Amino acid sequence: MSSFSIVDLIVAKREGRVLSDEAITWLLDSYVAGTVADEQISALLMAIFFRGLNGAELGTWTDTMIASGERLDLRGLSRPSVDKHSTGGVGDKISLILAPLVAACGAAVPQLSGRGLGHTGGTLDKLEAIPGWRARLSNDEIVAQLEEVGAVICAAGDGLAPADRKLYALRDVTGTVESIPLISSSIMSKKIAEGTNALVLDVKVGRGAFMKEYDRAAELARTMVGLGTRHGVATVAQLTAMDQPLGRACGNAIEVLESIDVLRGRGPADVRDLTIALARTMLELVGIDVDPAPMLDNGRAYEVYCAMIAAQGGDPTAELPLGVVRDVVTADRSGVAQVVDAYDVGIAAWRLGAGRARKEDAVSAGAGLHCLVRVGDHVEAGQPLFELFADTEEQLAFGRSALATAVELGDEDVAAAPLLLEQVR
């Protein structure tokens, strides 16, 4: 018979009291075992949302989530392992380029990725636009591909941090997603269980990010770096701007195509610059003294990308689908782009069919848009601002309506904010 009562723990946290290590371990283990109900954990999550967790509580909470399942063992690899995680943004296809790029420089990159929800895209959704590509790999397949190719992007297995999988689904439907302790423990429990030697966190801040305020984004970065360091994972966080979309492509297949452009030495400068900056930090953390930039220009990163896709059953040379129902949104006046709102663009991509409102929703491989204007651009009346792709006229109309206020034009010359904001170590 347990000495703990879930109701007593809910009340304790509601009142702002500190939960003991033993209490946290008991309640998470009991939840995974099914002896504590969803509605009770929901109440506790809301109490944590308002009251938070102190450093000791958060450490034990994360430890218990890691211990709730298996851990991936990467110690036998012939190269050091390093991963990257983004907190999510609009047009953020960096993982598709970064994993093969860093692998081309000599590291092993185990990218356990997720799917999109709402206005933010998901790496797995993008890659599933490639014919034959599969997201689900066994632990043995992951390790073998890392040894042979150097990079893998796949779904986290069911056995990895199962407590997080249950908690995340509950947070999503109880309005408790935007909690720094809950976000940081969710991300870091999976990344630590993944077994990587080092980790770089790309923490987005701005209109299109979950963290819209700089101070909160910086707090999230510091919290996650602290958790990684506590577990012996060399961890650095890079705060990056997400006020306007990253690159020009937003969607699934359309972002894969832009990623391939960057991998072949072309593509938008902001995508290339951020990828190289993150790659340099990743390589520094594992002691590899190689400049990643030439690997984009000499074709080596693209070769690793093709090998990575082929190893997971995909055809890297296949023609990718783009929605057959298309339209262009044009400027209604001349002026200078003061704002290109990443959130509005993300909502538009979602409504075009590229995203989902619930985890079980299907997404369209071919839906999405090209963002043809950047902050500071001079625009003439009638000039195209967005090129839209959808599968149906209805989706096209939904997407178009979401862009009604996405671009603000004015008469003042403006410059876009820097992309790289601050590094947290």
In a domain, 421, yes or no: no
Q: What is the band of 307 on the pLDDT scale with cuts at 50, 70, 90?
A: very high
Residue that terminates a domain, selected from 284, 311, 338? 311
84, 190, 191, 231: the catalytic one is 190
Let me know whether 19 and 104 are in one domain. Answer: no
Position 267 pLDDT exceeds 90: yes
Number of domains the chain is built from: 3
Q: Which helix (H) or strand (E) holds 13?
A: helix 6-14
Let me know whether 256 and 140 are in one domain. Answer: yes
Which stretches does DSSP call E strand in 252-374? 325-330, 335-340, 368-371
DSSP 125-166: HHHTTSTT------HHHHHHHHHHTSEEEEEPPTTBSHHHHH
Cβ neighbours around 331 below 10 Å, total: 18
Supply the pLDDT for residue 423: 97
Q: Please state the rounded mean pLDDT for residues 321-350.
A: 97
Supply the pLDDT for residue 160: 87
Residue among 272, 223, 271, 275 at smallest CA distance from 53: 223
Angle at 237 between CA 235 and CA 239, to 5 degrees: 175
Supply the pLDDT for residue 172: 78
CATH number at residue 35: 1.20.970.10
186 labelled catalytic: yes
Cβ neighbours around 333 below 10 Å, total: 10
In a domain, 317, yes or no: no
Position 113 pLDDT exceeds 80: yes
Let me know whether 257 and 375 are in one domain. Answer: no
Let me know whether 25 and 90 are in one domain. Answer: no
Let me know whether 110 and 42 are in one domain. Answer: no
Let me know whether 200 and 338 are in one domain. Answer: no
In a domain, 217, yes or no: yes
For CA atoms 126, 199, 86, 387, give the dihedral sign.
negative
Instruction: Enter the DSSP assignment of 385.
Output: E
Q: What is the band of 118 on the pLDDT scale with cuts at 50, 70, 90?
A: low
Identify any residues that bridge with 64 across adjacent strands, giving them in sequence order: none
Let me know whether 95 and 241 are in one domain. Answer: yes
Instruction: Summarize pLDDT for 25-80 with one digit per residue, the tens.
Output: 999 999 999 999 999 999 999 999 999 999 999 999 999 999 999 999 999 999 99
Dihedrals phi, psi of 371, to nearest 5 degrees: -95, 110
Q: What is the band of 114 on the pLDDT scale with cuts at 50, 70, 90?
A: confident
For CA atoms 125, 126, 128, 129, give the dihedral sign.
positive
List C-alpha distances in Å: 34 to 4, 47, 185.
15, 21, 21
- pTM for this model (two decimals): 0.95
Instruction: Summarize pLDDT for 209-249 with one digit per residue, the tens.
Output: 989 999 999 999 999 999 999 999 999 999 999 999 999 99
Q: Please state the rounded mean pLDDT for residues 358-381.
A: 92
Which residue would you say has higher pLDDT here, 12 or 175? 12
Let me know whether 112 and 32 are in one domain. Answer: no
Supply the pLDDT for residue 117: 64
Instruction: Summarize pLDDT for 122-168 with one digit per residue, the tens.
Output: 899 999 999 999 999 999 999 999 999 999 999 988 888 899 989 98
Position 116 pLDDT exceeds 80: no
Domain that holds residue 389: 325-410
Residue that terminates a domain, selected from 264, 289, 311? 311
In a domain, 77, yes or no: no
In a domain, 357, yes or no: yes
Supply the pLDDT for residue 273: 97
What is d(CA 147, CA 108) in angstroms, rounded to the nearest whole number? 7
Let me know whether 237 and 382 are in one domain. Answer: no
13, 79, 84, 85: the catalytic one is 85
- Give yes or no for a contact between 242 and 342, defined as CB atoms under 8 angstroms apart: yes
In a domain, 208, yes or no: yes
In a domain, 285, yes or no: yes
Going by their DSSP bridges, the two strands 82-86 and 198-205 should be labelled as: parallel
CATH number at residue 395: 3.90.1170.30
Let me know whether 343 and 306 are in one domain. Answer: no
Residue that terminates a domain, selected from 281, 311, 341? 311
In a domain, 419, yes or no: no
186, 189, 259, 364: the catalytic one is 186
Let me know whether 196 and 102 are in one domain. Answer: yes
83, 164, 261, 344: the catalytic one is 164
85 labelled catalytic: yes
CATH number at residue 99: 3.40.1030.10
Let me know whether 209 and 354 are in one domain. Answer: no
Position 97 pLDDT exceeds 60: yes
79, 171, 207, 300: the catalytic one is 171
Task: State the number of CA atoms in the 13 A half-sphere of 293 facing the CB.
Answer: 6
190 labelled catalytic: yes
